[in-house]
Amino acid sequence: MVNTNSSTDQLITFILKGIEEVKGKDISILDLRDIENTVCDYFIICNGTSNTQVNAIVNSIQKTVSREIKDKPWHVEGTDNAEWVLMDYVNVVVHVFQKHIRDYYDIEGLWGDAKLTTIPSN
């Protein structure tokens, strides 16, 4: 896992578990800590195949994190059309995309200076 404090480590672990439980695809972690003026320490990015699956991923993350460490996102936006949902856990921001929207915005490319960790699919 990434070298962080234990509460952020736990949060990342349970976010990943929530994504994997509903078969979220192409999971990446961007470590932004060495980049100046960032809004958070980590981005976790994944995609689903439809707006239904995107919302299922978001719900699974919320349930898993809430159940395991009693945390909830500070803010969630994008659930209405579920093409790109952003979940803000303050130090960790989760981006859940539909694949074509993820390809279009290319967040990994925009944050090319970040350390990228790809999580292998099960």
Q: Which domains does the chain have, with CATH numbers?
A: 6-119 (3.30.460.10)
N-term to C-term CA, the chain? 17
Number of Cβ within a 10 Å radius of residue 118: 10
pTM: 0.94
Task: Give tens-digit pLDDT for 30-74.
Answer: 999 999 999 999 999 999 999 999 999 999 999 999 999 999 999
Answer whether residue 1 shows pLDDT above 80.
no
- Rounded CA gap, 83 and 5, in Å? 31
Answer whether residue 3 shows pLDDT above 90.
no
